[in-house]
Structure formats: structure tokens, C-alpha cells
Chains A and B, each alone.
Chain A
Amino acid sequence: MGTAVTTLIKDSPPDTPQARPGPPAAVKRRGRRENLAGYLFMSPWIAGFLLLTAGPMAASLYFAFTDYNLFDSPKWIGLDNFTKMLDDPRWQKSVEVTAKYVVIGTPLKLLLALGVALLLAQSRRGQAFYRAAFYAPSLIGASVSVGFVWRALFSDDAVVDRTQSFFGWDVGGWVGNPDWVLYSLVALTVWQFGAPMVIFLAGLKQVPKELYEAAEVDGAGPFKRFWSITLPMISPVLFFNVLLETIHSFQIFGSAYVVSNATCGPADSTLVYTCYLYQKGFKEAQMGFASAMAWMLLLAVALVTAVLFWSQKRWVHYEEASR
């Protein structure tokens, strides 16, 4: 096609005023026509974006400032939803539960991902098998069925409970225990460390071997080599993983919903932010409040992301000249 196009331009009809500066009109027309074609080809996507993403977002931003029960038309109430939210003990609880989940779950997951990536980075026999095996949970982990499996594993008198009791540490199942059940959700996300692990592996492969050789000659031990070479060299990858996993953690919903048997309990102990949002919107029909909650979440995630970006100049090293 590319060659045909150039031929076409050369063969432009004689009535084109060649003398004028700038591209000939035919070329302009062509360009416009090509743009038009491009837009038309994109139109299904653009329509989809406007109808399914931009439209709903604009609507939800509007609803956030209204009292809207899905049936009667929305009533403008300004910032009331936001002030009500801050006073709502269940909203506070949902923020607390989510924060706990993010702060405990994300670092554990990344530590495990990095640790296993370091082990798997070396050439060993059966390496491909181990990589696949550790990655597998990431593929299936988000599914509802795994949530059910988790609920079964951590129930009273199930595998986890029995193992614990065997070691004389008796708490009963985690699922019904408000002090423990959140940690079963943390375990579920940590178990899915495969995705960040693969990214770490790619990062580790990029670290030049000569650096390690030079360090070894200078007498640096394994820990020193990790601290002074590996970590700084993979810091961009680490940054990427921290960012992605943090954002991801804030949005936890499915596992909390399934493990708690759709109640986000017991005693609101798994009332993660999105679970409360869902209850407000779809169970109590307070769509305005739910929309306001959604925008607060967006703000919070944006804020955390901004802080992470701001912090990166202190610990993330980009090797400009190395490649």
C-alpha cells in the first residue's frame, strides 16, 4: 500500500496548481480524506468510549453531588454526600480496612515476588517449570471460584484451621473471626505474586553481568552485591511494580465479597472500600453517595500515585547512557 500511495501523489492530475507553496491541494485533500477514514475506522471504539466510559464517568461525577435513588430524578445537594461520608462510621471503617489491606498486602506480595524472582533468575534445571508454576496463581487468582476455594480453606475445621490446631495455635477458622478474616484476603493477594515476579525477572535479566564480576573482584559479598548493584539497577522496575500493585490493591472487591459470603463481614471486618460502595449503590439504592465514594477513591489513588512519583527521584535510578 505504501508504495502505491507515493505513486499516486506523483501522478496527481494536471489541474492541481503546482506553483503554490506548501503541499499541493490534492495531497491536502488526501490527508483530510485519510484522516476521515481513520476516524471512521475508529468510530466503533470512539462510540464505545463515549457511551461506556466517558458518558458514565460524567454522569457519575454529576450524581456525586446529588441525592439519587435510581427511581426519582437526582436532586442537587452540593457537597452533602462528601460531608455525610466523612461522618459515616461505616465509611471510616471501610477506609481503615482498605488501608490495612493495602499497607500489609502490597509489600508482602512484592517482597515475595522479588525473592522468588531472584531465585529463578539463575539458570537451573526445570527453570521454565518453576516460573510457570509460580505464575499460574496470577492467572486464575482473580476468579470467583478461587474466592470460594479460599473460603473453604480458611473455614472452621478446614485445612488451615487443622494445621494451626496441630501446632497448638487454636483460633478456629479465619472466615468467621473478625480479627483474622482480613489476613486470609491478604494471603490471597500475596499468593498471586506471579505477575510482579515476571516483571522483576525481566528487570533482573537487564542488569549487566560485568558489574557483578567487578564487584566480586573488589570482594563484595552477595548481600552487598544485591544492595549496591541489583536493587539500584532494578529500581525502575520496582517502582513500576509498587505503583501498579498499590493501585490494584485499592480496588480489591471480588475476593472480599466472595470470602465474606456477600456480607463484607463479619462485623464489617472485610468491608473494603468498593464493597461498601457496592452496598450503598446497589443494595441501599443511594447512587449519589456511591458515586461520591467512587470519586473519593479516584482522588485517593491519584494522591498516592502522585506521592510515589514524587518520591521516585530519591530512590529510582535511570541509567541514561547505559544503552
Chain B
Amino acid sequence: MERTATSRGGPTVGENGSVERRTVLKAAGASLATLGLATTTACGGDSGGSGDGTVEIRFAWWGAEERAKRINQTIALFEKKYPKIKVKTDFQDYVAFWEKFQTQAAGGNPPDVFQNAVAYLRKYDKRSVLLDLKSQVDAGNLSLKNFRAGVEKVGEVDGKLLGIPVGSNTMSLVLDEKVFEKAGIKPEEGWTWDEYFAALKKIHDSQKVAGDTGYFGIMYLYDLYLRQNGKAFFTEDGLGFDEADLTEWWQDGYNRVKAGIITDPKKVEQNKPKSSLASGDAASEFTWDNFTVRYATEGDSTYGLAPIPTTDGKQTGQYLSSLMLSGSARTKHPKEVAQFIDFMVHDPEVGKIMGYDRGILATTEQFDAYKPTDAPNQAIAKYEEDVAAAGVLGTITPHPAGADTVEAAFLRIAGDLSQGKTKVSDAVKQFFSEAETALAA
């Protein structure tokens, strides 16, 4: 610049001004570009189609590394069969998944297809997030044939088809088989709660192992207990039990913690994310049957499945629940979404790859294609057969909107209670007040 100045005998304002103006304009252009870029990134990410008719759909689900590996294999198969559809995946663990999903859905940018569960159907239907798949079924892009035991009804809410099940599971009691054998206890179909708690006491007295990891905080188990007694946890728009019911349930639970037949809640907390059953601090735990695989990898003992205790020696209150695939109401490619779901639930190869990772395979094509060879998966298959044969299965009540928050509150408050930080009466009051807020929101 100085060189130019001397050669021309000093720059004039005009000249220099124009130089400056250019720089200024460039700077302005640059910052506008930055802004423009920011805007595109913010609003972009639309799974738009490109020139050759290829579309991209986003698929999100919760789970861990193992599930990710399997799902990626199935997607590779899908893309081979449908070369014009590209699938972009995204996964987190359960809690993080719903946090992220909520934010995305609120921003109008949820994934095109995603894993779903019964607690979220009404909640997101109410907010018009979920695609009603009925029209896609009518258009022939998605088949509802060959589902086992009428499990496809799980995704039906208020006449809309909001999710297609990929697998079914049911609540069960997982045992440390070695401990139960040593104590000489053989759980039988139709056993009662009294017999169950007597068994726990025997185990505690003879082998110095606490019995259960904290049954009274599990919402789905309490639902079974209520159903055994002609009630239910949820009605279509609220709670199906009253304060007296819960007071009894929690008071008994607390007394059993004090008596030492339930694992010390401090221990349970410290073992997380591992289960206290797997760490050897408990002899049994109520959970979904397909989780048995998890204990086998986490712990050293052998784990088996036992029937749910009953009130009358007959009814367990059980039903089949399910992981589902749902579509977004805002997707630009409902047809491709339906084709993807159809492939995922019907293709036999997919069944072979996924196994019982998301529950017992939902369609007969997949169920017949996969025959488990390892002990935990065989045990799960047998358990579901037994439960079905026993004729105890009922149907699930679609949860009201806010059910997810109610479940979290139930678990948390039961935890506070077992730690001795809240009195039973206060805990019950707090639960009902939080549930009311959540269900009204």
C-alpha cells in the first residue's frame, strides 16, 4: 500500500476511500456469508431428495453398542434391496434418547423413523408428532400380516396406528439360579406373593444374600399387582388406583427393606449402571424378560426366569409389551418410511441378525427364521411360550400422555422412600401431586 502511495505521489481520499470501501464490502459479504451459512445449517438437515430420485431418511433408536452393530447390518441389507433409499442412523441410551427426541420434535425436526414405546404413544400423538400408518397400510407399503398373538394392536391408539412392533416382551422375575437352588426353592407357576417373600426370607437367612433389588419402585410390576386385584396403574387419562393402595404397597416394601430381605438401596445405587442382581447383591429382580441376556454378560452366576407371583394363585396380570417403530408426521417421505418399517419387521434375514435383542420377534417370518442357540435366549423363548400357554396374557392399556414423567417420579420417590429420606405418607402424597401435574400437562 505504501508503495502505491509513493509511486502515485500520495493517494487521494477518493482512491483510498474506494480501496476501503472494497474491503468493507468484502468484510460485509463475508459476515453475511457466515450468517447465511448459519441459517442454512440451522434450518437445513431436511432429508430432501436428490436429482436421481434417491431419498434419505433418518432413523433414531435407543440402545447400546451391540444393538448398533446389529442394526447397521440390517440397514445394509435394506439399502441393498432399496438402492434409492439411504438410511442415516443415530442412537443414544434410553434417557438421552428421549431428551434429544423431545427437543428435535419440538423444533419440528424429528427423525423420519424411530424406535418407540407404549409410554410415549399418546404423549406424542397429542402433539401431532406421530405418523398415522393406516394410510400406508392401505396403500400397500406396509403389511400387517403374520404378527404373532395379535401383538400389532400394541401400536393402536384411539383408532390410529402409531407404531409397528418389532418384538414383544413381558414382565418376568429373573433369578440367580445358583442361589435359589442352594436354598432349595423351586418357583412354580401360580405361586403367591406370600410364598415369594417367604422364599426371599429363607434365602436371606440361609445364605446371607438379600432377596430382591427393590420391587416396589417398578411401575410395570405394580401395574401387574393392581391388575391382579382388578385395577390398573393407568386408565386412559389418569391413574387407576388411590392413595390407600399405594400406601400399602410402599409400606410393605419399606418394611421389607428394613428387614433386610430387599437389597440395601445404597448398594443398589452404587452398583448402577450394573444391576445388583448381576453383582451378587440380590437373588432376584423383576424386569422385562428380554433383559436376561444382559445379566448373563454382566454377572458370574446363571440366570433364569420365573413366573410372576400372584394374588389368587392364577392371574399374573401380564401382557405383552413391545418396542415399536414409528414414523414422524412431518416426514417428507412417508412411503419410504413405511417401506423401511415393513422390511424391518418382516424380512427373515433381519430377524436372524437382530435375534431377541428387542424382545421376541414380532412376526412369524422372523420368529421362524431365528432359532436361539445360546442359553439366555432359549430361556426367554421358552418363558414366553409358557406364559402364552398359561393363558394369563391380557392386553396393555395405552398409557395417557405424561406417563413417562409419572414413571420417572414413581421410581424416584420409591428410591427416596427406601433410603429412609421420606416417610411413606409423604411419599404417597408427593407422588400423587407430581402425577397429577404430569398428566394434566
Contacts and interface: CB of A to CB of B under 8 A. Distances in A.
A40 B28 contact: yes
Contact of B438 (A12, A72, A284): A284
A19 interface: no
Contact of A37 (B14, B24, B102): B24
A200 B98 CA distance: 45
A266 B419 contact: yes
Given A12-B13, A44-B31, A265 B415 contact: yes
Contacts of B415: 265-267
Given A176-B269, A265-B412, A8 B106 contact: no
Nearest to A260: B269
A36 B28 CA distance: 10
Interface stretch (B142-150, B228-236, B260-268): B260-268
B185 interface: no
Interface in B378-422: 405, 408, 412, 415-416, 419, 421-422
A285 B17 CA distance: 55
Contacts of A71: 105-106, 127, 129
A11 B5 CA distance: 13
A51 B35 CA distance: 10
B31 A176 contact: no
A286 interface: yes
B290 to A, nearest CB: 23
Contacts of A69: 441
Given A44-B31, A70-B106, A265 B10 contact: no
The secondary structure that dominates the B interface is helix
B405 A284 contact: yes
Given A261-B273, A265-B412, A266-B269, A4 B1 contact: yes
B5 A265 contact: no
Contacts of B76: none
B207 interface: no
A53 interface: no
A156 B267 contact: yes
B5 A4 contact: yes
Interface string B232-271: 0000000000000000000000000000000001111111
B421 to A, nearest CB: 4
A173 B421 contact: no
Contacts of B266: 156, 172-173, 176-177, 266
B103 interface: yes
B272 interface: yes
Nearest to B99: A282
A45 to B, nearest CB: 9
B63 interface: no
A98 interface: no
Interface in A272-291: 282-286
The secondary structure that dominates the A interface is loop
B300 interface: no
A8 B31 contact: no
Nearest to B416: A267
B158 to A, nearest CB: 18
B54 interface: no
Contacts of A40: 24, 27-28, 31
Contacts of B1: 4
B430 interface: yes
A283 B408 contact: yes
B31 A265 contact: no
A268 B416 contact: yes
Contact of B13 (A8, A177, A263): A8
A190 interface: no
Nearest to B30: A44
Interface in B417-441: 419, 421-422, 430, 438, 441
Nearest to A89: B430
Interface string A1-21: 000100110011100000000
Contacts of A12: 13
21 contacts: A4-B2, A4-B5, A4-B16, A11-B10, A26-B13, A40-B28, A44-B34, A72-B127, A155-B270, A156-B266, A156-B271, A178-B421, A265-B412, A266-B266, A266-B416, A266-B419, A268-B416, A282-B102, A283-B95, A283-B98, A283-B99
Given A47-B31, A176-B265, 4 more contacts: A70-B106, A172-B266, A282-B99, A282-B102
